[in-house]
Structure 1
């Protein structure tokens, strides 16, 4: 539950008491999340049946940790693969690689980079893939073949 205002806090506490009063509800984990609450109010929130309490902002893993603690579960996270860059001089990417690209495409790439919009950068790269000479080339690396 998110505790956003005094009224929301009161409604949430009533709901928590109701949930915890049932047989199934007693086994339900309730985690209170709020941006601001006094320490004495935290004790009241926990005394109504909330199992855990989190202040905002919080790191995502703290909610998963609380759920794991109260539900007795463990999580299996997908492995992330780090990008391995080939930094050899022969594969260096420079502005020369973009000389054959349209000014419109370069402007869009520039704007996507300024906005740190990875999805748009990848979309622009896919759009350019129609002109690639091999699957491994990227952006303007195949200008000579166009």
Structure 2
């Protein structure tokens, strides 16, 4: 979605509402396609006292395999983003502002970058995921196993003999 911001940059208190969906089904991360549905974008671009701000929320369903227990999970996610838009940059201000050349903003590319950079590096089905048993491979979220949790690293066996 390309937004023409010429009028918005020129007129104070001008506002443009945003409400549309993006298809992220072509994005593959971690060997899988994690976006279970379209990404729904809602927000607005507004000029307040000559400063143009973009604020939006990206909502989507994240579907992936848990990094600890390997179970497939899906959950609703909502990420909030804000940006200050400018027509030109001073050399030292490059990180804090989004440069909008020719007063046209490619919102799809900005949303794609924001979401991909905000995704966690470790995906867990839940915060307290117990993972898999190191000995038998059972999913500890579903069952308890009878394996001994006090296994000694084989590289340290010689030290263990000294204590005995």
Q: What's the TM-score, normalizing by structure 2?
A: 0.20
**Comparing both chains, which one has the higher relative contact order based on Cα–Cα distances under 8 Å and sequence gaps of 6 or more?**
2
| Greater fraction strand | 2
Rg comparison, structure with higher value: 1
Q: What's the TM-score, normalizing by structure 1?
A: 0.21
